[in-house]
Amino acid sequence: MKYTMESNLGDLMRHPVARDLFDKACAGVNTGLVLNPMTSFMRIAAVDALLDSLGRGKIMQAILDIVNSAGDVTIPDCDPPIAWWRDAVIYQIYPLSFKGTDGGIGDLNGIISRLDYLKDLGVDAVWMSPVFDSPQEDNGYDVRDYRAIDSQYGSMQDMETLIAEAHKRGIKVILDLVFNHTSSEHEWFKSSASDPDSPYRYYYIWREGSPDSPPNNWTSIFGGSAWEYDNRRGAWYLHLFAKGQPDLNWENPKVREELYDITRFWREKGADGFRLDVISFVSKFTELKDGNADIAKIAGWMGFEHYFHGPRLHEFMKEFRENGLGGAYAVGETPGLGRGVNHLISAPGRNELSQIFCFDAIDNPGKSKLDDYEYNLYYAREMMLSWMKDTGIWYTLFWENHDNPRMISKVTSNTKLHKPLAKLLNLWILTLRGTPYIYQGQELGTPNTVFNSYDDIMDIEAKNTYKVKLEETGDHAAALAAVQCSSRDHARMPIDWNEAEAQAADPYSVLNFTKNAIELRRRYAALRLGHFEYQNELMRKDIFCFYRYLDKQRVYIEMNITANSVRAPIGPKSAKFLLGNYDGIGDVMKPYECRVWEI
């Protein structure tokens, strides 16, 4: 069915992609004004006018273009797979700052030296950010050679040893594949730019034109135009990220086969799975039309609607599964995609990806990591409750990664509450239904750092944000404040291993609480694979309570999700206390208190 501006809203909202887009377009707006029984029969043209009056602009035609190009959206009625990743705890390593062999920057031998730490923590797998050969313009997410290890991290032999040693300890290894773009120093790109007869001539997205006029108005996610003119070829190339990260042309089947062959190479080396960087960006609308200014206000980047869910995305993912991934675990980073597309891309029977990272719970509605605000955990509760209703999806559960600030600092600036809050957040993702991801240092309750000057910033995204803000205001202090809340450097600071040792010796530390929570999850199958049942009294906004159950096991979790002391919920009458983040159990729950009970 093709939707037009004369179609009605009710029909459109039954399309999974449309509902995703509509939810994001209305973030921060009272959707009850738009989505209700009275409006379900409204023409899309009338909805467009209504959204415009609410300050969202005229965006419905762009939504219709994406929906109409989405292709097959049927979801087969299949049982979920029996797979190791469904009940695993996965730990993300940012190699540059995890552990150095000699106290310097992180490397592969440093990771090997801490595998026993990870085993003791209780994780089942590690995902490593890229360690491939790279000029490091974007800390390894600009790959120069996918089949070589960057010398700062070690050698191919070190990588083979790491995989083998991890496997000896029962830890699986997930590698980070960056396939939306390469480095501009990759041999493919250098040849594509300089040799008219190159076999790599069409490996990238090139457009002819005057050096004074980019092909369209798209902006880079790192700031500025998404196009760069290359004098060698006399043409523009697309880079959705840094200038040194030209986008690959997935429309070219030779490009796709190269990438699938690289994936097979690493599977043969022993990799158990892959995290696929911005994989949802690989299919672009080939017309390369100008971006919609109203959508840019919502998404943050001009042109976003033309690539974040392109017309061949699902076709490409099915092909990738068949020819490259095989039976390996594959989790996609898919910015901008919500529950509907999550289901499409990871549903059993569609043969695409195993899971995706859904970022809907990372920021409150109408906010982004660039905004300086205190995150409200009530929103996370409501969002994740909606995930638990999608029984066909096995969600990734996470608070942090290498691209986002530390969550405890985002929730509260009161450092006295960071310790109980860190414990609560870790328990939260370890007890919901899904696959929890713990980012390095999260198990220690690591907060954000403080940047005293521009020289303290390493992150290319933050540097660009600083420069843009400085141009706008002429104020260095204002520019620094703009990146203080958002810089990716917060997550990329070196782990304090002295702190880790001190916490290991402290039975009340965040580290030991997290170990206990992982062990509890391992001991109770209900917490790993069981059903979910929400439990709340009088729709209270200050608590989050639920049951996990499987066969005869039944576990009850209650959490105070505020910085205030609150009346304890009325839980089960007969229960055995298993774990909590405060001493003593009373009728009042302390700030960010959490408790686990066996029924």
Residue that has been written with the tokens 């009970």 in this structure: 597
Rounded-to-integer distance, Cα 343 and Cα 390, Å: 8
Helix (H) or strand (E) holding 207: strand 206-207
In angstroms, what CA-CA distances link 520 with 1, 339, 578? Answer: 49, 29, 8
Three-state DSSP state, 147 = strand
Q: Helices 510-523 and 497-504, interaxial angle, to 10°? A: 60
Three-state DSSP state, 254 = helix
In angstroms, what CA-CA distances link 585 with 502, 507, 573, 598? Answer: 27, 18, 14, 15
Q: Helices 418-431 and 510-523, interaxial angle, to 10°? A: 20
Q: What is the DSSP string of 507-561?
A: TTSHHHHHHHHHHHHHH-HHHHH-EEEE--STT-SSEEEEEEEETTEEEEEEEE-
- List phi, psi (to 5°) of 420: -65, -35
The active-site residue, picked from 23, 107, 142, 277, is 277
179 within 8 A of 245, measured Cβ to Cβ: no
CB-count exposure of residue 570 (10 Å: 0-12, 13-18, 19+): exposed
Rounded-to-integer distance, Cα 479 and Cα 523, Å: 49
Structure token pair of residue 363:
């920021």
Sign of the four-CA dihedral 566, 572, 575, 578: negative
Residue that has been written with the tokens 């774990």 in this structure: 579
Sheet of 355-357, strands arranged across: 355-357, 329-333, 273-276, 172-177, 125-128, 90-93, 435-439, 396-397
| 333 annotated active-site | yes
How many alpha carbons lie under 13 Å from residue 52 in its C-beta half-sphere? 11
Residue that has been written with the tokens 């995930």 in this structure: 387
Query: How is residue 582 annotated by DSSP?
Result: S
N- to C-terminal Cα distance for the chain?
49
For residue 130, give the nearest of 160, 94, 90 by alpha carbon.
94
- Give the largest Cα separation in the chain, rounded: 77
| Cα-to-chain-centroid distance, residue 79 | 26
Rounded-to-integer distance, Cα 585 and Cα 558, Å: 12
Sheet of 206-207, strands arranged across: 206-207, 235-238, 227-230
580 within 8 A of 556, measured Cβ to Cβ: no
| 287 annotated active-site | no
173 within 8 A of 166, measured Cβ to Cβ: yes
The active-site residue, picked from 142, 333, 360, 443, is 333
State the Rg of the chain over Cα.
Answer: 24
Which of the residues are catalytic?
Answer: 277, 333
